[in-house]
Amino acid sequence: MRIHREGFQIILITILIVVVAWLLVKNYVPYTMIRYGLLAGLLILLLWVVRFFRMPKRTINYGDHILSSADGKIVAIEEVDESEYFNGRRMMISVFMSPFDVHVNWYPFDGTVKYSKYHPGRFLIAHHPKSSELNECTSVVLEKSQDENVLIRQVAGVMARRIICYAQPNTQVKQGEEMGIIRFGSRVDFFLPTDVQVKVKMGQTVRAQKTVIAEF
């Protein structure tokens, strides 16, 4: 396991905050038990920030299927009207990432990036059903063939304040390659053709690069 490059600056800032805070506690908090309690809280914060930016090394579940791009829990499986790119009915599968999940995102299958666009927006809790429409997000369309394509939407949450997406239109990508990262609690929505075979259930825990969410 390694640390994602987008986390280095935040981890360094967190270390500086923890050191300064501990010096203040040491000099101005007279009671030993309170001191140790505050120190424990600072160390937990630092460990959580480091753990948040972890990049686990996994064996990719290669195959002619659609893998989850994110770790988390399935919170939506439903047909919806998709109006940004396809302008029609699509099967939406949504993965909610808690602050304790890995937040790196990977491509679900081999294909060509046809579209990538950032949208400013609000910061509703990512579990909210309207967050996909109203929150800050980045949309990426990945195409395997003319009828085999998916819109992947990285959605910011109440804690997320930056979506990082490396997708560039007209580039070829491989299943399991890194697509980007969302900093803190968020979700990823998949808008697939309505005739896909859904392979997950509501409430199921999924892992990026591992769990098959659907098949064309």
Residues with active-site annotation: 186
How many other C-beta atoms lie within 10 A of the C-beta of residue 194?
Answer: 10
Q: What is the DSSP string of 72-92?
A: EEEEEEEEEEETTTT-EEEEE
CB 69 within 8 A of CB 102: no
Residues 6+ away with beta carbon under 8 Å from 169: 113, 114, 115, 116
CA distance 155 to 96: 9
CB count within 10 Å of CB 40 equals 10
* Closest C-alpha among 122, 121, 95, 125 to residue 185: 125
Burial 128-158 (b: 16+ CB within 10 A, else e): beebbbebbbbbbbbebeeebbbbbbbbbbb
Helical (H) or strand (E) element with 105? strand 104-106
91 CB neighbour count, 10 Å cutoff: 20
